[in-house]
């Protein structure tokens, strides 16, 4: 992936023009990560959590996500990547995520799942574009410029939409179109399943619904609320009750909520 600022269009869309230049946003090497709940034996899955803008690994614990995952008893090792804004702005995502967090933990034959929230949802899609994954859970994901989503909607949805030239690694100019094209291919081929959740009052719900329309209905979750942890906790509870993630990594010790 280009080393240029792959997410500066995203920063503008998120009204982050005052955040400063990319050089001022930290992106330490190696990328920090915090291990969460682990399976009792050799886990079938590795579940990597990707935070939204301004959140850190500790936020997932403070907001009850790690407790819910531990209580559910997934047959999975859980790790939270400290994939902060700087990695996106400097073009280091998803390369550093893979090199520093995933590759050292992923065992041969283990199934890799990514759960991304907001900015982390885009990070999950970017990673899936560049690396093999078993599936994605996207909670209120950032999905790119509204103009591109309008283009997809105007084409009649994701299936008939023609993305154009999207071959090759992610680039600053094309990465949004490339991740949407990846989603189109995954849906069409029955490839890595994508589970989507968002708050009914989320500021980007109208964009989420464009992706939702392309997914099997059982893989789409909505909850009351907006772009906030209260909605995301409810969505995680739904995902942990029934989803492709649970079908593959559900484990034998699940105790529900």
Q: How confident is the model at residue 5 (pLDDT cuts 50, 70, 90)?
A: very low
C-beta separation of 78 from 69 below 8 A: yes
More confident residue, 40 or 206: 206
DSSP state, residue 18:
G
Q: What CATH superfamily classification does 8-242 receive?
A: Alpha/Beta hydrolase fold, catalytic domain (3.40.50.1820)
Query: Position of tokens 């600053």?
Result: 172
Condensed to tens digits (0 to 9), the pLDDT of residues 225-246 reads: 999 999 999 999 999 999 999 9
Please tell me the distance from the alpha carbon of residue 55 to that of residue 244, in angstroms, as a whole number.
Answer: 26
Predicted pLDDT at 199? 98
Please tell me the distance from the alpha carbon of residue 191 to that of residue 183, in angstroms, as a whole number.
Answer: 9
Condensed to tens digits (0 to 9), the pLDDT of residues 9-60 reads: 454 444 334 444 556 788 999 999 999 999 988 999 999 999 999 999 999 9
Three-state secondary structure call for residue 142: coil
Question: For 82-145, where are the alpha helices, taking DSSP H only?
Answer: 85-89, 95-96, 119-130
Condensed to tens digits (0 to 9), the pLDDT of residues 115-169 reads: 999 999 999 999 999 999 999 999 999 999 999 999 999 999 999 999 999 999 9
Side-chain-facing half-sphere of 86: CA atoms under 13 Å: 13
Phi, psi of 139 (to 5 degrees): -110, 115
* Kind plus residue range of the DSSP H or E element containing 65: helix 65-72
Query: Position of tokens 């700087």?
Result: 86
**Could you tell me which residues come within 8 angstroms of residue 142 by beta carbon, excluding any fewer than 6 positions away?**
10, 13, 14, 118, 119, 121, 122, 204
Domain ranges of the chain: 8-242
Predicted pLDDT at 1? 42
Quick count: other Cβ atoms within 10 Å of Cβ 160?
Answer: 9
Predicted pLDDT at 65? 97
Spatial CA neighbour of 137 closest among 72, 36, 221, 34: 221
**pLDDT surpasses 90 at 224:** yes
Predicted pLDDT at 251? 75
**pLDDT surpasses 50 at 248:** yes
Share in percent of the chain as helix, strand, coil (round to 5): 40, 15, 45
Predicted pLDDT at 23? 60
Predicted pLDDT at 8? 42
């Amino acid at each position: 992936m280009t080393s240029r600022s792959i997410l500066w269009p995203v920063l503008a869309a998120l009204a982050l023009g005052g955040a400063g230049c990319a050089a001022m946003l930290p992106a330490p090497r190696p990328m920090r990560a915090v291990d969460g709940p682990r399976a009792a034996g050799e886990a079938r899955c590795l579940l990597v959590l990707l935070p939204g803008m301004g959140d850190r690994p500790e936020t997932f614990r403070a907001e009850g996500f790690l407790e819910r995952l531990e209580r559910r008893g997934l047959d999975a090792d859980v790790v939270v990547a400290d994939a902060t804004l700087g990695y996106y702005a400097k073009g280091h995502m998803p390369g550093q995520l893979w090199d520093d967090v995933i590759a050292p933990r992923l065992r041969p034959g283990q199934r890799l799942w990514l759960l991304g929230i907001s900015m982390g949802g885009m990070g999950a899609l970017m990673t899936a574009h560049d690396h093999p994954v078993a599936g994605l859970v996207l909670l209120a994901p950032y999905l790119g410029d509204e103009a591109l989503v309008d283009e997809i909607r105007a084409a009649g949805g994701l299936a008939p939409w023609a993305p154009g030239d999207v071959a090759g690694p992610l680039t600053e100019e094309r990465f949004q179109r490339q991740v949407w094209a990846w989603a189109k291919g995954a849906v069409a081929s029955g490839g890595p399943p994508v589970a989507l959740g968002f708050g009914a009052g989320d500021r980007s719900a109208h964009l989420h619904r464009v992706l939702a329309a392309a997914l099997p209905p059982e893989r789409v979750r909505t909850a009351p609320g907006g772009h906030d942890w209260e909605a995301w906790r409810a969505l995680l509870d739904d995902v942990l009750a029934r989803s492709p993630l649970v079908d593959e990594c559900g484990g034998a010790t699940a105790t529900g909520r």
